Structure 1
Amino acid sequence: MSPHTVAPLLLGLAVIVVTAWLLGMLARRLGQPAVIGEIVGGVLLGPTLFGGAIPRTLFPAEVRPSLTLLADIGVCLFMFLIGLHLDHTLLRGQSRTASVVSVCAMLLPFGLGALLALYLAGGGGTGDRVAFVLFMGVAMAVTAFPVLARILTDKGLIDTPIGGLALACAAVGDVLAWALLAVVAALAGGGGHPWRVLFVVPFAAVLLGVVRPLLARLAARRPVSGPLTGVVLVAGAAGLLLSAQATSWMGLHAIFGAFLFGVAMPREGVSALRERVLPWIERICAVMLLPVFFMAAGLKVDLSRLDTVAFGELALILLVAVTGKFGGAYLGGRITGVRPRHSAVLGILMNTRGLTELIVLTVGLELGVLTPRLYSLMILMALVTTAMTGVLLRIVYPERRVIEDRSPRTGATRLHVNEGRSGLSDEY
């Protein structure tokens, strides 16, 4: 980066951060997750308005590589945090229900997405046909775990049985989705060395079986209440970067390595890191780096060129996305004995896509699996399905129902499992 590009880069970053903050705050005022406003901000800063004058002025060609690099770093850091916060204890006492709901909430939208891909294959994909079909299935099956957690907190559902079950299902679904996306990335982006993808399984085994115990022993040698030394920070930062580089070398995206390293981080012995460092990392990621990612994604979205045919395809995409995710989660809930209303709530919550969908779509565009036109339509789908969650929840699960489910009288302060049937399975 030459010295004369520093000034426009800093100006562009300032505009991005302020726009994301303002529109995120507006989204919260409207009862929506902040990520809705931030994604919209990225689209508005792109070529959709004024014939692309905004990005040409604020983000000239010479600064875009630097912005893309910052966006990639932000996404890798975000995926590391997702892996780090993945809590296997969410399945405790409700593993059967969560597993069945998760699988159903993946299989039905995945199948419908694959069928939709066969219909759209003539003009939707730019690469391998099989990769395109699999990718569309994954894109339809995604649930945004962090956005879902925030919605549950805002709606007062985080400590209810249905809230805990939804989080558990989303956690399992995230792992399945990333695994399937890794397969797509291997098919579409293997390049001249497709054999490298074979290293993924042993690499994950080394992270979990060797690196994780080493990090746990390293952290255990440091006093819990003492100052956080640079050794722990350097080990974590180096491990994150090397893991991301390793999966990139294997023909996958760097986000998979970041996610795997987050999962491999020990839960015990790193309390100082979690209490003192992670909140700042998360804040920097949310305030600075992720808005850059939204902008970088928005630069690839041009809604001004969509015609009536495109909006017809958007309606079909929305129908498949909502029907598949809601129907799969509802069916899984009913199979395991969850009440009809709570099964419907599960379907609504699992339909939340948000930032996770944006990451998946960006990977698809980078791999050449999506065209810019279909990418734009899928971005709109992610916005609509995430925004509709709060609206539908107020209708299907009003506040009085939340209060009833949290009251000691109902005995629903946690999810019980009895012979494979959850505590939500009493007659409605």
Structure 2
Amino acid sequence: MTTTEIFLIAMAIIFTVPYLVWRLGGIDYAAPLVVVQIITGILLGPGVLGRAFPEYYQFVFSAPVVQSLNGVAWWAVMLFVWIAGIELDLKKAWVHRVESGITAGLALGVPMALGAVAAVAMLGLGSQWMGAKAQTWQFIVGVGMSCAVTALPILILFLEKLEILRQPIGQRILRYASLDDIAIWGVLAVILMDWSRVGKQALFLSGFALATVLFRRLMRAIPERDRWYVGLIWLAVCAFGADWSGLHYMVGAFLAGVVMDADWFDQRQMDALRHHVLLVVMPVFFLSTGLRTQWGLEGGMVFVAAALLLVASISGKLLGVHIAGRLLRWQPGEAGIIGWLLQTKALIMIIFANVLLDKQIISNETFTALLLMAVGSTMLTVPMVAPRLAKIRELVFRAS
């Protein structure tokens, strides 16, 4: 069979298997389709399918096919991160800057600290966790930040499912997550700072700052129908510049989006674009991610590390938000709901971990453990939040 034919077989598998599991399995309560696609990517990777059916795995996911899939995945994730950057609304966070700053800071700092402790513990279990080009501090900070990440796009899906997206508590949660998103990419840029290429990185950042001023003037001057196309050109150029300078194309994609204003575009078209990116190309990224998993040591230590990271991530997020609730005198029950929703990990953490793996800061084993942690924390969110939310609603109804 030709490479094109095998590529199409792989594409059919990518879109068929997770959809059937999600639709026929009745698991949409706990997990949106994107989470099922992530799990399917893991199952189709070398640790599961590759071990159970090695010949079939090698046939479908040959080097030319994987290379083609990776090209689609790169563009998919650049689009997704770009959209996430555009949709960040920091104006509302500035209006409520004291409350948002305290909550976002604690919701990020506490799980990051516990995650860093977990990273140190992992290093005590062996040397297989750290990437070949990592310094110890990069590994510890990278894993710590992975435990602190909130997946804003998945959070929006959950807020919609729970019918609180447009409610005051939903808007507050989005503010906290937006501030954390900025911090996450800032920390990533620090981790990726390469002193042997610092001249290139400084040149890129200074050029980006100047180009941003000119780009924003251009976008305001042209009609909306042209802004989409110009925005995509801007995305490709910024991603190239970041990758060329030694950062990463995903850092460039986020920067390209964050300097753009959401009100330049029709919100319905932006929502449709996000939906179509998730529908049409992001499943390829999820499979590409799954193909990078590696279990090692018969998988036992990977699951131990994943459990350690899951405990650090969830407990850190809940502890940080509860401290914020005490300081800000929230109503009883609010901290639990906000904490569980903010610990949603899938997508953004997976993107973050992909960057760390690309730069050889973490190993494939650590990447696999982080992936399992992200899936576990995300699937726990709705089952833990729904009864708490119902209880608060009942109390409010009785009080009225």
1:264 aligns to 2:259 (yes or no): yes
Give the TM-score normalised by structure 2.
0.90
User: Partner residue of 1:286?
Assistant: 278
Alignment partner for residue 143 of structure 1, among 150, 153, 158? 150
1:125 aligns to 2:130 (yes or no): yes
Q: Equivalent pairs: percent with the same residue? A: 25
Contact 2:90/2:179 (CA < 8 Å) preserved in 1? no
**How far apart, in 2, do the equivalents of 1:27 and 1:216 lie?**
46
**CA deviation after TM superposition for structure 1 residue 280, in Å:** 5.0
Q: Aligned pair in 2 of structure 1 residues 241, 125: CA closer, same or farther (>3 Å)?
A: same
User: Partner residue of 1:249?
Assistant: 244
Q: Deviations over 1:264-310 (max 9, x none)?
A: 22344543xx545x455334311221111110111122458544443
**How far apart, in 2, do the equivalents of 1:110 and 1:63 lie?**
37
Contact 2:139/2:361 (CA < 8 Å) preserved in 1? yes
**How far apart, in 1, do the equivalents of 2:26 and 2:204 lie?**
39
Tell me, which stretches of 5 or more residues in structure 1 are unaligned?
A: 223-227, 411-428
**How far apart, in 1, do the equivalents of 2:201 and 2:192 lie?**
10
SS of 1:397's equivalent?
helix
User: Partner residue of 1:80?
Assistant: 82
What number of residue pairs does the alignment pair up?
391
Contact 1:125/1:370 (CA < 8 Å) preserved in 2? yes
Contact 1:20/1:291 (CA < 8 Å) preserved in 2? no
**How far apart, in 1, do the equivalents of 2:228 and 2:35 lie?**
32
**How far apart, in 1, do the equivalents of 2:344 and 2:211 lie?**
30
One-letter identity of the residue aligned with 1:29: D
Q: Aligned pair in 2 of structure 1 residues 327, 365: CA closer, same or farther (>3 Å)?
A: same
Contact 1:156/1:402 (CA < 8 Å) preserved in 2? no
Give the TM-score normalised by structure 1.
0.84
**CA deviation after TM superposition for structure 1 residue 379, in Å:** 0.7
**CA deviation after TM superposition for structure 1 residue 394, in Å:** 2.5
Q: Aligned pair in 2 of structure 1 residues 307, 238: CA closer, same or farther (>3 Å)?
A: closer
**How far apart, in 2, do the equivalents of 1:31 and 1:176 lie?**
28
User: Partner residue of 2:338?
Assistant: 346
Alignment partner for residue 402 of structure 1, among 388, 393, 398? 393
Matches within 5 A, 1:258-337: 258-271=253-266, 274-276=267-269, 278-279=270-271, 281-303=273-295, 306-337=298-329
Matches within 5 A, 1:37-48: 37-47=36-46, 48=48
Q: Aligned pair in 2 of structure 1 residues 211, 110: CA closer, same or farther (>3 Å)?
A: same
One-letter identity of the residue aligned with 2:37: E
Contact 1:46/1:54 (CA < 8 Å) preserved in 2? no
Matches within 5 A, 1:6-405: 6-25=4-23, 26=25, 28-47=27-46, 48-49=48-49, 50-91=52-93, 93-121=95-123, 122-126=127-131, 127-187=134-194, 192-199=196-203, 201-219=205-223, 228=225, 231-271=226-266, 274-276=267-269, 278-279=270-271, 281-303=273-295, 306-398=298-390, 400-402=391-393
Tell me, which stretches of 5 or more residues in structure 2 are unaligned?
A: none
Aligned CA RMSD, in angstroms, stands at 2.5
